[in-house]
Amino acid sequence: MAKNDRFVVRHGNDWAVKKGGIARPEGVYGTQSAAERAAKETVRESGGGEVRIQGRDGRWRDSDTVSPGRDPFPPRDKRN
């Protein structure tokens, strides 16, 4: 896990942006998309890294490498 990685996770009825290894969220948002945007902006400003997004069921549903981070496994599809 890189120092700039962020995770979008459930936080009660809201969504939180967390950094790995730290219990307190960096921010809490009313929607998952708002939390995802905030996480990507934070990672972009801190030099790039990975954003992982948790689904409502608690399983990881998506991850995205934010520039200038290097993606060790670039996507083969064109959705990201």
Q: What is the dihedral of CA 52, 19, 49, 32, to 10 degrees?
A: 40
Kindly report whether the global pTM for this prediction surpasses the value 0.85.
no
Residue-range domain boundaries for the chain: 6-65
> What pLDDT is recorded for position 45?
86
pLDDT digits (tens, 9 = 90+) for 38-79: 999 999 888 888 999 999 999 999 999 888 756 666 666 666
CA distances 23 to 27, 58, 60, 77, Å, are 12, 17, 18, 34
Round to whole Å and give the CA distance between 12 and 71: 31
Beta bridge partners of 52: 7, 63
